[in-house]
């Protein structure tokens, strides 16, 4: 299997056979044979793409110093002017959309159309951030004291540390970085070791805009390395906010470390997302959304549909329809037309997929179809599996556990919508959820305070496919905090209450008398 246009893509995006570990914008770290390095491989066919050096602690400290210096300049640039820089970044991303989207597909393994869609998310968040740069509103309130005025305003925090995962190697970084930038913050990005080249490409695109505007080094920084590089940031009091995307296990470590120094966190962690299908549902719509949510990105989205909770009246109908469709799903290179399921990220992911299926069957689950590791031609060089359908019970340990792979658990319920909601909520994670029903009372109950306990709750659409205009995030072991749209920008700023006395006396609040 050949990756078409590989060298052309890498050259266009400025990626070399061996790449430095760090960048403060236009400046890059020094290449040295003394540095240890790691290789990025494509999950499509196992091909080595390029090497990237591991950052040293000295390189990290140098980045921090440049970021601190840049912040002192950047925070004083008017917010609409900061928005203008982000607008230019969005325009440059439009120019590079095709090669960058292709690289996302090559290095991460998601479908080419999904790779393009991820870059479009970056463009969209730039557009959102440009408008936001003129809407960083505070609030005025009335004082109880005469001739006093009270108001609230927001100021930049400083350095924002961004730790991103492999499954969205560019979009999630942009959600944080573009919003933080218009807020007046500077960023240090530690990407996943599994997708380092996508980060290098983004950094080189941004560097063009920074150079053209004669901006200082340190506004957007890049740091490559193992988990230790992320630990340097989480332990560093010079980094007031850490935004981390990844597993719940990783997020708990980040929360403990940052919390111990009273820093701030935005955590986007595990998801165990469910779709509820009631007897009042449009079944074809529900099945289409289920399949996209369950097998898209080969089950490696945080919003992947992992549980399908179906009323017994339509359970057999839904199951039989899925059993018709699943064997027909085209599996292969995500760059090929017509393919719907690409590879998992690496061999370890394939092993986890198979272990999860073995465990759930040992608990009593019934494998209905799929579940194979496809190690025969033309798949032997890549990490391909056949998406699995499993009949299971919600209380099974493996059903309660997020497996980053295309496994869909079919669960039946008998009673009213409240029973299905209780099943959906009976997991430790709380990211995305959906119900398919054309019955108003069912959908309203799903959206009520007694309904879904997830950060995202959809009606008649699936669990995947969030738009940047809404705040993105979840509850419980999904972490907490919000990224992207709505008022998520407030997390990247510090809030300040101000009181101005424009009179000639000094009255105290609550009528306190303190006469000298």
Strands (E) across 291-414 are located at 305-311, 366-369, 388-391, 407-413
| Strands laid side by side in the 220-223 sheet | 22-23, 220-223, 186-190, 159-163, 241-245, 264-268, 479-480
Report the distance separating Cα 306 and Cα 388, nearest Å. Answer: 11
At 400, list the tokens: 């309660």
Report the distance separating Cα 300 and Cα 169, nearest Å. Answer: 12
Alpha helices in 43-111 (DSSP H): 57-74, 79-95, 97-108
Residue 397: count other Cβ atoms within 10 Å of its Cβ: 10
Which of 221, 225, 84 minimizes the C-alpha distance to 160? 221
CA-to-CA dists, residue 479 to 244, 271, 455, 476, angstroms = 9, 10, 10, 6
* Catalytic position from the list 202, 302, 402, 483: 302
Using only the alpha carbons of the chain, give its radius of gyration. 25
407-416: string of b/e by CB count within 10 Å (b at 16+)? bbbbbbbeee
Ramachandran angles phi, psi of 366, nearest 5°:
-120, 115
In angstroms, the first-to-last Cα distance of the chain is: 87
489-510: string of b/e by CB count within 10 Å (b at 16+)? bebbbeeeeeeeeeeeeeeeee
Report the distance separating Cα 19 and Cα 74, nearest Å. Answer: 28
**Is residue 191 within 8 Å of residue 201, measured between CB atoms?**
no
In the block, tokens 């303190």 appear at 514
Q: Catalytic: 126?
A: no
**Is residue 442 within 8 Å of residue 435, measured between CB atoms?**
yes
Q: Catalytic: 8?
A: no
* Catalytic position from the list 114, 118, 217, 268: 268
List active site positions.
Answer: 268, 302
């Amino acid at each position: 299997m050949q990756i078409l246009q590989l060298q052309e893509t890498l050259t266009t995006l400025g990626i070399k056979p061996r790449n430095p570990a760090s960048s403060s914008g236009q400046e890059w770290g020094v290449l040295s044979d003394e540095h240890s390095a790691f290789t990025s491989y494509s999950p499509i066919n196992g091909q080595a793409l390029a090497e990237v050096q591991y950052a040293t602690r000295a390189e990290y400290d140098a980045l921090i110093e440049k970021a601190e210096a840049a912040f002192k300049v950047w925070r004083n640039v008017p917010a609409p002017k900061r928005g203008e820089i982000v607008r230019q970044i969005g325009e440059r991303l439009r120019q590079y959309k095709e090669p960058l989207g292709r690289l996302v597909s090559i290095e991460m393994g998601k479908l080419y159309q999904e790779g393009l869609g991820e870059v479009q998310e970056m463009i969209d968040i730039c557009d959102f951030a440009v408008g936001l740069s003129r809407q960083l509103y505070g609030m005025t309130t009335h004082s109880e004291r005469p001739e006093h005025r009270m108001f609230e305003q927001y100021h930049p925090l400083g350095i924002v540390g961004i730790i991103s995962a492999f499954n969205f190697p560019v979009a999630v970084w942009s959600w944080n970085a573009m919003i933080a930038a218009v807020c007046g913050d500077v960023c240090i990005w530690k990407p996943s070791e599994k997708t380092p080249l996508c980060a290098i490409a983004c950094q080189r695109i941004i560097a063009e805009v920074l150079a053209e505007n004669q901006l200082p080094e340190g506004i957007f920084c890049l740091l490559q390395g193992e988990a230790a590089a992320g630990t340097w940031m989480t332990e560093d009091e010079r980094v007031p906010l850490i935004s981390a995307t990844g597993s719940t296990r990783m997020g708990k470590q980040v929360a403990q470390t940052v919390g111990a120094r009273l820093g701030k966190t935005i955590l986007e962690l595990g998801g165990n997302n469910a779709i509820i299908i009631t007897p009042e549902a449009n079944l074809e719509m529900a099945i289409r959304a289920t399949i996209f949510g369950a097998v898209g990105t080969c089950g490696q989205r945080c919003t992947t549909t992992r549980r399908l909770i179906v009323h017994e009246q339509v359970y057999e109908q839904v199951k039989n329809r899925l059993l018709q469709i699943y064997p027909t799903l085209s599996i292969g290179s995500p760059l090929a037309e017509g393919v719907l399921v690409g590879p998992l990220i690496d061999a370890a992911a394939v092993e986890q997929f198979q272990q999860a299926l073995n465990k759930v069957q040992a608990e009593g689950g019934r494998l209905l179809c799929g579940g194979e590791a496809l190690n025969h031609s033309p798949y032997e060089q890549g990490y391909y599996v056949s998406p699995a359908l499993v009949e299971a019970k919600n209380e099974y340990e493996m059903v309660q556990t997020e497996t980053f792979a295309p496994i869909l658990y079919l669960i039946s319920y008998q009673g009213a919508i409240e029973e299905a909601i209780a099943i959906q909520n009976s997991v430790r994670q709380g990211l995305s959820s959906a119900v398919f029903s054309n019955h108003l009372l069912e959908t309203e109950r799903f959206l009520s305070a007694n309904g879904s306990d997830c950060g995202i709750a959809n009606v008649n659409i699936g669990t995947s496919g969030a738009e940047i205009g809404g705040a993105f995030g979840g509850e419980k072991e999904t972490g907490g905090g919000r990224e992207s749209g709505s008022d998520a920008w407030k997390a990247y700023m510090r809030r300040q209450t101000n009181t101005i006395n424009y009179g000639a006396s000094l009255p105290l609040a609550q009528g306190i008398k303190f006469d000298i």
